[in-house]
Amino acid sequence: MNLDRFHLSHWKDLSFEERLKALQDLEHHYAKVQGRKPRNVESEKMPGLNYMGYYDPSQDIIKINEDHIKQDDFHYCCVETVIHEGRHAYQEE
């Protein structure tokens, strides 16, 4: 998988939709590596920047803080959250 999109020099030029697509692609990649089904990655408005995201087992979805996706300097935080929450999804299987 090409991770160039997550480098700040590229991330800052991506639209919100392109950023969300990049995070979904990341989830697909790690799901394949872990031998599990990929989950949908969606944005959600959360109470503040200290909320990263979560895995919702009832919907089988990974939610990422919408404000993190919008901020240029939260690019690695978004990556870490997708990987972390994908691991929770793996634990649910």
Helices 16-34 and 75-92: angle between axes, nearest 10 degrees: 40
Domain, as residue range, for 69: 4-92
* Alpha carbons 47 and 57: distance in angstroms, whole number: 20
pLDDT tens-digit map of 44-75: 999 998 999 999 999 999 999 999 999 999 99
What is the domain count for the chain? 1
Judging by DSSP bridges, how do beta strands 53-56 and 61-65 pair with one another? antiparallel
**Is 0.85 topped by the overall pTM?**
yes
* Alpha carbons 27 and 46: distance in angstroms, whole number: 20
pLDDT at 92 over 90: no
Give 11's pLDDT tier (boundaries 50, 70, 90): very high
Summary mean pLDDT of the chain? 95
CATH of the domain at 63: 3.30.2010
pLDDT at 2 over 90: no
